[in-house]
Structure 1
Amino acid sequence: MTAPAGIGHLEPTQSAGRLFVQRGLEGPVVMLNLLRFREVADYTAHPDLAPAAPISGAEAFDRYFRHTLPFLRVSGGDVVFLGAGGPFLIGPEGERWDRAMLVRQTSVAAFLAFASHDAYLAGLGHRAAALQDSRLLPLAELPFPT
């Protein structure tokens, strides 16, 4: 199911979260993040985190990233790739993503513990302010075919 026009995918639904856990992924999991930023960050829902002057969505995401990285690393995870995006070479014409990121976590349990950590959650408003739309695809590593 897709979101109505103009509404981005910013948080997992309850059913998507349940399906993620039910997949029974074992071992490390890599999260593919596709990120589309707002031109100007929207801190309406998180005024306590708002900077004194308006900033771009990319700048707000950088604040989220700096806040998050220490908690991610303590939980056993890390960012293995961060890259600038753009339009697809193969994919829907006109669709673009500003940034792509691969986050590796040691297990689903470690990811869930990280994602529910109170100190991490305290900075989540920077992500919400930054993003117009996003995708998060959990990936399980496969052996190379021989």
Structure 2
Amino acid sequence: MAEHYIDPSPANFQAFKDLPRDEPILMLNLLRYRNLAQYPPGHEHHGNGWSGRRAYEEYGTTSGPIFKRVGGEIVWRGAFQAMVTGPDDQSWHDGFVARYPHAGAFFEMITDADYKQAVINRTAALIDSRLMRFEPGEVGGGFG
């Protein structure tokens, strides 16, 4: 049975929090959307028939101003085509890399009250995801 991830485990999030917060970070996001978004009962979008992709677009619309305010920017975005190396049962709809000026900016974003409301759209949209932190490195050159 495949495992699905939407939110970080407490241990993984603690490891993230233990890393330096005053240096730039890159966050690799891999996304697999639900066929039909799953909003909680009572939410304004519950039962509206949105696809997971449409719900994620709403997440982008509602979280985007906060992301930009903290200095975040998308530095790469693409649509998944094929698994070349890795488990055959893992495929993604979309992926992107977000850059933050420092890890503290990411924490500022996720603790913002408006972001906490916006993230409901992300949770409704996704059946599976991966979020991985990287430190920036050199661009260009060869492998290794």
TM over 0.5: yes
Scaled to the shorter chain, the TM-score interval is: 0.7 to 0.9
Q: 1:12 and 1:46 mapped to 2: Cα distance? A: 23
After superposition, give the CA deviation of every residue in 1:59-87 in whole Å (9 maximum; x if it has no partner): 11011011111100001111222221133
* Aligned equivalent of 1:92, options 84, 87, 98: 87
The correspondence of residues 1-146 of structure 1 with structure 2, limited to 5 A, is 5=1, 7-24=3-20, 26-43=22-39, 45=40, 47-50=42-45, 53-143=48-138
Where structure 1 has 5 or more consecutive residues not aligned to the other structure, the ranges are: none
- 69-78 vs 23-32, which moves further: 23-32
Deviations for 1:96-145, whole angstroms, at most 9, x for unmatched residues?
A: 10010111101111111111100111111110110000000001013478
Identity %: 26
Q: Counterpart amino acid of 2:102?
A: S
How far apart are the structure 2 equivalents of 1:46 and 1:81?
A: 35
CA–CA distance in structure 2, aligned partners of residues 143 and 6 of structure 1:
35
TM (normalized to structure 2)?
0.87
Q: Please state whether the residue corresponding to 1:122 is helix, strand or coil.
A: helix
Could you tell me how far apart the structure 1 residues matched to 2:103 and 2:126 are?
Answer: 24
Residues 16, 47 of structure 1: CA spacing in aligned structure 2 closer, same or farther, 3 A cutoff? same
For these two proteins, the number of residue pairs brought into alignment is: 141
Runs of 4 or more above 3 Å deviation? 143-146
Q: Work out the CA distance in 1 between the residues paired with 2:47 and 2:21.
A: 43
